[in-house]
Amino acid sequence: MMEKIYSLLKKSEKYTKTDMIYLFKGGFWLSLGQVSGALIAFILSIVLANTLTQEDYGTYKYLLSAMEIIGTLSLSGLGIAVTQSVASGNNGVLRLSFRENVKWSVGMVIAGIIGGSYYIYHSNNILGLSILVIGLLSPVLTSAELYGSFLSGKKDFKRSSLYWLYTNIIISILAITIASTSGSPLLMIVTYLVSNTICNLYFYFKTIKIYGVSGTEGDVLNYGKNLTLMNIISTVAQHIDKILIFQILGSAELAIYTFAVAIPEQIKGVLKIPIKLAFPKISENKNYVFNSNAKKKVEIFIISSIIITIVYIYLSPFIYQILFPKYLTSITYSQVASITIFTAISGFFVSILQAKMKKKQLYINTITTNGIQIISNFVFIYYAGIWGAVFSNLFNRIISFYIPYKMADKLEK
């Protein structure tokens, strides 16, 4: 039966102009991991929405955003560089990347100590102790997570998806347990960090055992450092809305906003599966160009995304009434936020620039799009609250779609 399927897939390549067998194999495992992960996140959000207060949930999400921002004070762009390097044939990058990332993570430790001490000094022990633990554990966690980038470069989507899925199942079970018993944001973030670190370390050493990871190292550090500079700006821009809402409006408002964007973001995560498959392929192909065939696929993606958005806008009131009755005020925000679903394809354009190591274009794209996003979030949220965050997000996602698209298009010429 599999032979017949492969035969049909091979014949279909004449019309799709795509490696359909690779898409079928890799897409299956990535889809399994992403869809299962989205389902787990969805179940977790339902439990947390109905067990935690809005204030505790908002505090927890604030701490997760703070962790992402502190995480940029390492070689946070190393993951993409590892995938690109491994796809180009350099198998010796994993151990080197782990060591270098730990070495360059001293800024995370310092930020954790300073941030934690600040909140403890101001008698907020929950935020203080949480940020202190984030700073101490994140260097090992972010270094161990590089095994996933290595497996993606090897096109071993089965292992990368399953390992990621196992980790998320364990983390979610523990989160549900803590939320149902104590509901403490401090205990939840500490449990998240400890369990996540242990799981990623286990799969890091398991990856080394399977592949041996000996061989050439390539120029992964130089490229990784450039990507890190870009990633700092990108991560701050990605989480600044949550930080500002927490600081300006409060934790309850952050919870409302988080649930408003949660489902659209999960949908975008599933739609990004083809992009993850494309990156190693583009890295392999030295002569890849963003041609008319690729543009047709982008058009199909956008049309499909628009249909999904319309369906979601119609169904969202029923979804929230059944699953998130405490967050009915999030419905309208979520419907407007879902307009950005089609912009998930922008990651494909950025992947082309990353795979081709176009540093100049990547810097211009990163500084322009994320700079606008950071500034607009400050202005919009200060004057318009949650609606400001929603419209700022919509405005910036469209810009983040257009600029890398034009850059990828010019690489052909």
Per residue in 312-368, pLDDT (tens digit) is 999 999 999 998 998 999 999 999 999 999 998 888 888 888 777 788 888 888 889
**108 lies in a domain?**
yes
Which tokens in the block code for residue 348?
Answer: 């494909």
Question: CA quadruple 370, 240, 350, 348: dihedral positive or negative?
Answer: negative
Tell whether 12 is covered by a domain: no
**Considering only CA atoms, which of 78, 367, 107, 41 is closest in space to residue 221?**
78
Task: Answer whether residue 9 is part of any domain.
Answer: no
Cβ atoms of residues 207 and 147 within 8 Å: yes
Q: Which amino acid is at 136?
A: L
What is the full DSSP assignment across 284-310? H-TT----HHHHHHHHHHHHHHHHHHH
Number of domains composing the chain: 1
- Tens of pLDDT, residue by residue over 174-186, are 999 998 888 889 9
Please report the DSSP string for 130-197 in residue order. HHHHHHHHHHHHHHHTHHHHHHHHTT-HHHHHHHHHHHHHHHHHHHHHHHHHT--HHHHHHHHHHHHH
Range of the domain at 172: 18-410
Q: Residue 299: CB partners within 8 Å, gap ≥ 6?
A: none
185 within domain boundaries: yes
Domain assignment of residue 5, yes or no: no
How is residue 8 written in tokens? 């049909």
Compute how many other C-beta atoms are within 10 angstroms of the C-beta atom of residue 128: 19
349 within some domain:
yes
Other Cβ atoms closer than 10 A to 65 = 22
Is residue 91 within 8 A of residue 216, CB to CB? The reply is yes
Position 2 in a domain: no
The answer as to whether 11 is a domain residue is: no
Going residue by residue through the chain, which has 413 residues, state the pLDDT in tens, using 9 for 90 and above. Answer: 656 554 554 555 554 455 555 555 555 666 666 677 778 888 888 888 888 888 999 999 999 998 988 888 888 778 878 887 887 777 778 888 898 889 888 889 999 999 999 999 999 999 999 999 999 999 999 999 999 989 888 878 788 888 988 999 999 999 999 988 888 899 999 999 999 999 999 999 999 988 876 655 556 677 777 777 777 888 888 889 999 999 999 999 999 999 999 899 888 887 877 777 666 667 666 667 777 777 888 888 899 999 999 999 999 999 999 989 989 999 999 999 999 999 988 888 888 887 777 888 888 888 899 899 999 999 999 999 999 999 999 999 999 999 988 888 887 54
